[in-house]
């Protein structure tokens, strides 16, 4: 081990941190923030791993907020004539539950994994635009807080998560809830858009030598597809949100039916974003389990190119299916037929993936660790949800199911049973990489089984409820109209509500597990390669140092790390381990790179992101405040653009004695 | 945008290695412009849907002044030419001409925005307010978004001139000019589409 990020010696003493770099004073408006280990470092950091953890913690916080909202909904429906919430609160609750889970939990949690692991998996030292990365995180945090501040300022949005117009106009929703909703989602949208640009450029441009596209781990592939979907989907919702904001705040007529407006405009704009959005939520989880299943089956992923390309195919076809959300709106037979067929077609690449995961496990040496259990549960539950999804593609059947609990059952099977289980698989799989300790398998199994049982108890009965005709977003049910026998509403609503609390306890056990793992003396430091993994992110320390790799590896294979550990005997088709993970790493690091200059910390991302909610509050309460916010945005942008992302070379490498001039002052454009 | 200054942590040496051969900044700008296509796509679709829907106030062909808008469109298109000259001067490290052409480009852009302000005022006087009709709302939103894009471009051009004067442009200056040029040309191309669809094709 050598010290790579070479600070000038006096700085290490001043800063007190080993990787400190003395900030040049002449650059930008402020002095650059110096290295530090305190909370301040988290505020000014541009390190993709720290930002990944911050994304994760914040997203989990919103997961709990959204979960409490869900439990309140289920509490309302546990008994006839529920009195927990009134109608207005109930509307806010389901709207904010969905919004929080979609925009503030699943998407940013996927971004957390993408931020942390994509650079490691492709052998890069950071993302392409580190400050933009930090800016994205702060936009997500402040956007989420802004959105949720509506709870304390007159109530949350109440139009349902797809916020159909004209129901979302001020006539029907006079509180400020929807204004907070539109503006909050604009701010988090900026986070998604900058994140998408950043990760696409990172994956396309910053791969280690030899890391061809078809050698990238599947998780990276799926993140790439997801980011392209975000890149093109976010601007569409941006337009829709602007139109709604103009309608509500400036009396524009876009959704004013009296002026001849077409209510389908919002539906089209929303779902052109909204359907790619569902793939944005599920594909990262597909990527995670495509890493987990081969590792715990001790086999390479079956049909790697097919899995990568079917992900890309989902990305393409995902743009041609949006109107299946609108079959009941009277689109006409041609549109319905086309979208119906496209929707059936998109089941094909998804099915291909499921076959590939099953074939990967087939004949493998399976070990049923917690990450593997979550991954297998994803495959099963996503298949169930996928099959009920195909029934929506059949338009005549869909007109019966639409706006019933059957739909609620379907999308919770694919999103909770699929996306969320995939994220939990990722927590357990990558925890030792991120935090040096392996989460307890014992508690993890309780966590898994309670979540599995809770999830199926909650959402399974909703199929029955829906086919019996219980409408989505129904606020109360009465004993008199619940029916009798096996299919009565009352019984299955109770089952679903009890299931939701089992699910809640399951999720809480995850937090218990985290606390136990980090507080208990009994949990040992995890070995370097606890799972016998296959990909590059395991070829460095746990957790990786700021510069990720002491030496950037040269990649010769798919599953590079596996190929460095194992040798295949061609005659017997057997595989035997020839090196331990520690040996592989020691060999890699025998000639560490020198002059590694990491991007420097910056104040600007958080300052720019802080100015955005100011505009938001200004638009709602006081137009002067809006001008202040806009001025702040402009000023911080100027400050940002005058600060080079990397301190000059002499900050890292002071001129050697006798060398005199030192390094050239010209900054390399790229590095 | 303002992120032109960004570069990433160095690897060994100072060569501009990237897997695609394009610099991160340029690839990032292309991605951003790709995203912008969908933004304007959504706005243009909204306008096309609502083009003929006038319950109150003037119809499009009653207020559009095609000769006037043609002239201002021509001015905007000429600014693309001067932008190309600025990029080429920057690549030849001809600082004087670079600054000159950047300022000329910004002035032409400002003339266009000035024309738009004049046009909006006269339309308003003729009875087309933002809330008058679906045509009014969607017209002002679409052309307004474009005008904001041009204005942001002008700010970037002037900032470039100012920062260049103070030697505050980090990284490869010619590339920064080129990136802003990409943005500027994109905004011009969008205007060609808007001018055709909104002004030239009768409703």
Which chain B residue has its CA at the smallest distance from A131's CA?
B6
Give the count of domains, chain A: 4
Per-residue burial over A36-59, b = 16 or more CB atoms within 10 Å of its CB, e = otherwise: beeeebebbbbbbbbbbbbbbebb
A554 lies in the same domain as A509: no
Give the lowest-confidence range in A18-22, A244-248, B192-196. Answer: A18-22
Nearest Cβ partner of A204 from B3, B20, B155? B20
Mark yes or no for CB contact A599/B9 under 8 Å.
yes
Which chain A residue has its CA at the smallest distance from B167's CA?
A642
The pLDDT value recorded for residue A362 is 95
- Residue A4: inside a domain, yes or no? no
In angstroms, how far is CA A665 from the centroid of its own chain? Answer: 39
Report DSSP state, residue A568. E
CA distance B183 to chain A (A): 15
Nearest Cβ partner of B171 from A193, A204, A644? A644
pLDDT at A652 over 70: no
- Residue B185: inside a domain, yes or no? yes
- Residue B144: inside a domain, yes or no? yes
* Contacts B93 to A, Cβ<8 Å: none
Rounded Cα distance between A183 and A145, Å, is 11
The pLDDT value recorded for residue B7 is 37
Whether residue A100 contacts residue A69, with contact meaning beta carbons closer than 8 Å, is answered with yes
The complex's ipTM? 0.91
Give the lowest-confidence range in A499-503, B10-14, B100-104, B119-123. Answer: B10-14
The pLDDT value recorded for residue A22 is 53
φ, ψ for residue A261 (rounded to 5)? -70, 155
The pLDDT value recorded for residue B148 is 97
- Residue A331: inside a domain, yes or no? yes
Q: What confidence tier does A653 reach under pLDDT thresholds 50, 70, 90?
A: low
Q: The domain spanning residue A363 has which CATH number?
A: 1.20.210.10
Q: CA torsion A182→A188→A189→A192, rounded to 10°? A: -160
Q: The domain spanning residue B115 has which CATH number?
A: 1.20.120.80
- Residue B6: inside a domain, yes or no? no
pLDDT at B64 over 60: yes
The pLDDT value recorded for residue A17 is 34
Q: Which of B1, B10, B46 is the best substitution to test chain A (most A C-beta atoms within 10 A)?
A: B10
Helix (H, G, I), strand (E, B) or coil at B179: helix
- Length of chain B equals 203
A56 lies in the same domain as A25: no
The pLDDT value recorded for residue A648 is 67
Q: What confidence tier does B14 reach under pLDDT thresholds 50, 70, 90?
A: very low
For residue B156, give its domain range.
21-200
Which chain A residue has its CA at the smallest distance from B16's CA?
A670
A231 lies in the same domain as A347: no
- Residue B13: inside a domain, yes or no? no
In angstroms, how far is CA A333 from the centroid of its own chain? Answer: 37
The pLDDT value recorded for residue A2 is 31
The pLDDT value recorded for residue A570 is 80
Helix (H, G, I), strand (E, B) or coil at A406: helix
Q: What confidence tier does A1 reach under pLDDT thresholds 50, 70, 90?
A: very low
pLDDT tens, position by position, A356-388 = 999 999 999 999 999 999 999 999 999 999 999
The pLDDT value recorded for residue A510 is 97
Element (H, E) at A171: none
The pLDDT value recorded for residue A437 is 93
A296 lies in the same domain as A436: yes
pLDDT at A601 over 90: no
Angstrom distances, CA of residue A99 to CA of A69, A70, A325, A366: 11, 12, 17, 37
* Contacts B37 to A, Cβ<8 Å: 235
A241 lies in the same domain as A298: no
As to burial, measured by CB atoms within 10 angstroms (0-12 exposed, 13-18 middle, 19+ buried), residue B32 is buried
- Residue B12: inside a domain, yes or no? no
The pLDDT value recorded for residue A664 is 34
Angstrom distances, CA of residue A23 to CA of A193, A548, A601, A602, A636: 30, 22, 9, 10, 19
Whether residue A279 contacts residue A271, with contact meaning beta carbons closer than 8 Å, is answered with no
Q: What is the 3-state secondary structure (H, E, C) of A397-463?
A: HHHHHCCEHHHHHHHHHHHHHHHHHHHHHHHHHHHHHHHCECCCHHHHHHHHHHHHHHHHHHHHHHH
* Contacts B171 to A, Cβ<8 Å: 644, 667-669
Nearest Cβ partner of B19 from A196, A207, A233? A207
Rounded Cα distance between A429 and A521, Å, is 21
- Residue A526: inside a domain, yes or no? no
* Contacts B11 to A, Cβ<8 Å: 125, 552, 593, 596, 671
Give the count of domains, chain B: 1
Q: How large a percentage of chain A has pLDDT more than 90?
A: 79
The pLDDT value recorded for residue A649 is 65
For residue A609, give its domain range.
9-34+600-652
- Residue A660: inside a domain, yes or no? no
CA distance A372 to chain B (A): 34
Mark yes or no for CB contact B9/A125 under 8 Å.
yes
The pLDDT value recorded for residue A651 is 65
- Prediction pTM value: 0.92
CA distance A106 to chain B (A): 22
Rounded Cα distance between A159 and A165, Å, is 9
Comparing A653 with A65, the larger pLDDT belongs to: A65
pLDDT at A49 over 80: yes
The pLDDT value recorded for residue B153 is 97
A17 lies in the same domain as A83: no
Q: What confidence tier does A659 reach under pLDDT thresholds 50, 70, 90?
A: very low
* Contacts B18 to A, Cβ<8 Å: 205-206, 670
Rounded Cα distance between A400 and A387, Å, is 17
* Contacts A236 to B, Cβ<8 Å: 38-39, 41-42
Nearest Cβ partner of A265 from B6, B46, B159? B46
Whether residue A122 contacts residue A220, with contact meaning beta carbons closer than 8 Å, is answered with yes
List of residues 6+ apart from A170 with CB closer than 8 A? A248
Nearest Cβ partner of A668 from B7, B28, B37? B7
A440 lies in the same domain as A473: yes
pLDDT at A478 over 60: yes
* Contacts A667 to B, Cβ<8 Å: 7, 170-171
């Amino acid at each position: 081990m050598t010290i790579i990020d070479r600070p000038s010696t006096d700085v290490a003493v001043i800063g007190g941190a080993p990787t400190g770099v003395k900030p040049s004073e002449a650059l930008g408006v402020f002095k650059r923030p110096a290295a530090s280990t305190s909370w301040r470092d988290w505020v000014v950091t541009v390190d993709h791993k720290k930002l990944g953890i911050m994304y994760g913690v914040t997203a989990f916080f919103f997961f709990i907020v959204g979960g409490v909202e869900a439990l309140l909904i289920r509490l309302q429906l546990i008994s006839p004539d529920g009195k927990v919430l009134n109608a207005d609160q109930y509307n806010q609750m389901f709207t904010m539950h969905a919004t929080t889970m979609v925009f503030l939990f699943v998407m940013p949690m996927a971004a957390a994994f993408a931020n942390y692991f994509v650079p490691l998996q492709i052998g890069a030292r950071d993302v392409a635009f580190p400050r933009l990365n930090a800016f994205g995180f702060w936009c997500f945090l402040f956007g989420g807080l802004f959105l949720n501040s509506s709870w304390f300022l007159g109530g949350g949005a109440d139009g349902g998560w797809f916020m159909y117009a004209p129901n979302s106009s001020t006539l029907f929703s006079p509180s400020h809830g929807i204004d907070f909703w539109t503006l909050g989602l604009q701010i988090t949208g900026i986070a998604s858009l900058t994140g998408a640009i950043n990760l696409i450029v990172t994956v396309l441009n910053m791969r280690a030598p030899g890391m061809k596209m078809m050698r990238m781990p599947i998780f990276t592939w799926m993140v790439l597809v997801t980011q392209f979907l975000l890149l093109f989907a976010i601007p569409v919702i941006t337009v829709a949100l602007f139109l709604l904001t103009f309608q509500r705040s400036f009396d524009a007529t876009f959704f004013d039916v009296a002026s001849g407006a077409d209510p389908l405009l919002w539906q089209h704009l929303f779902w052109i974003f909204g359907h790619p959005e569902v793939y944005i939520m599920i594909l990262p989880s597909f990527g995670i389990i495509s890493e987990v299943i081969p590792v715990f089956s001790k086999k390479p992923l079956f049909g790697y190119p097919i899995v990568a390309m079917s992900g890309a195919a989902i990305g393409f076809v995902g743009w041609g299916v949006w109107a299946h959300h609108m079959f009941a709106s009277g689109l006409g037979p041609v549109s319905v037929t086309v979208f119906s067929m496209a929707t059936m077609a998109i089941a094909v690449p998804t099915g291909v993936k499921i076959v590939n995961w099953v074939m990967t496990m087939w004949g493998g040496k399976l070990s049923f660790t917690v990450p593997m259990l979550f991954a297998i549960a994803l495959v099963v539950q996503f298949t169930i949800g996928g099959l009920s999804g195909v029934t929506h593609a059949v338009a005549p059947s869909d007109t019966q199911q639409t706006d019933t609990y059957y739909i609620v059952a379907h999308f919770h099977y694919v999103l909770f049973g699929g996306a969320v289980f995939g994220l939990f698989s990722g927590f357990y799989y990558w925890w030792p990489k991120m935090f040096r300790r392996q989460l307890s398998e014992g508690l993890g199994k309780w966590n898994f089984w309670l979540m599995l049982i809770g999830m199926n108890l909650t959402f399974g009965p909703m199929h029955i409820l829906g086919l019996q005709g219980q409408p989505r977003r129904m606020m109360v049910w009465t004993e008199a109209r619940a029916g009798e026998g096996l299919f009565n509403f009352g019984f299955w609503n109770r089952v679903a509500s009890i299931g939701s609390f089992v699910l809640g306890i399951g999720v809480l056990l995850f937090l218990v597990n985290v606390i136990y793992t980090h507080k208990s003396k009994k949990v040992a430091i995890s070995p370097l390669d606890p799972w016998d993994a296959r990909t590059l992110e395991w070829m460095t320390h746990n957790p990786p140092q700021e510069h990720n790799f002491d030496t950037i590896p040269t990649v010769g294979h798919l599953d590079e790390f596996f190929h460095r550990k194992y040798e295949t005997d061609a005659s017997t088709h057997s595989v035997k381990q020839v090196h331990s993970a520690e040996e592989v790493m020691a060999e890699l690091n025998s000639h560490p790179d020198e002059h590694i200059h990491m991007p420097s910390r910056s104040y600007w991302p958080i300052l720019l992101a802080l100015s955005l909610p100011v505009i938001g509050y200004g638009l709602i309460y006081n137009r002067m405040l809006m001008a202040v916010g806009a001025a702040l945005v402009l000023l911080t942008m100027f400050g940002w653009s005058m600060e080079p992302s990397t301190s000059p070379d002499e900050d890292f490498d002071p001129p050697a004695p006798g060398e005199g001039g030192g390094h050239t002052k010209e900054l390399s454009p790229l590095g | 945008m303002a992120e032109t200054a960004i570069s990433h942590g160095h690897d060994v040496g100072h060569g501009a290695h990237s897997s695609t051969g394009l610099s991160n900044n340029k690839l990032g700008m292309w991605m951003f412009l790709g995203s912008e296509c969908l933004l304007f796509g959504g706005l243009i679709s909204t306008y096309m849907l609502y083009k003929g829907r006038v319950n109150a106030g003037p119809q499009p062909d009653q207020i559009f002044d095609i000769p006037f808008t043609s002239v201002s469109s021509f001015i905007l298109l000429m600014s693309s030419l001067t932008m190309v000259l600025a990029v080429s001067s920057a690549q030849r490290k001809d600082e004087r001409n670079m600054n000159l052409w950047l300022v000329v480009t910004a002035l032409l852009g400002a003339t266009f925005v000035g024309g738009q302000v004049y046009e909006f005022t006269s339309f308003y006087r003729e009875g087309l307010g933002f809330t008058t009709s679906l045509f009014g709302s969607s017209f002002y939103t679409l052309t307004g978004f474009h005008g904001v894009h041009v204005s942001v471009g002008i700010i970037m051009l002037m900032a470039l001139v100012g920062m260049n004067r103070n030697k505050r442009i980090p990284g490869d200056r010619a590339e920064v000019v080129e990136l802003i040029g990409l943005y500027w040309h994109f905004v011009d191309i969008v205007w060609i589409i808007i001018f055709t669809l909104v002004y030239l094709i009768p409703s």
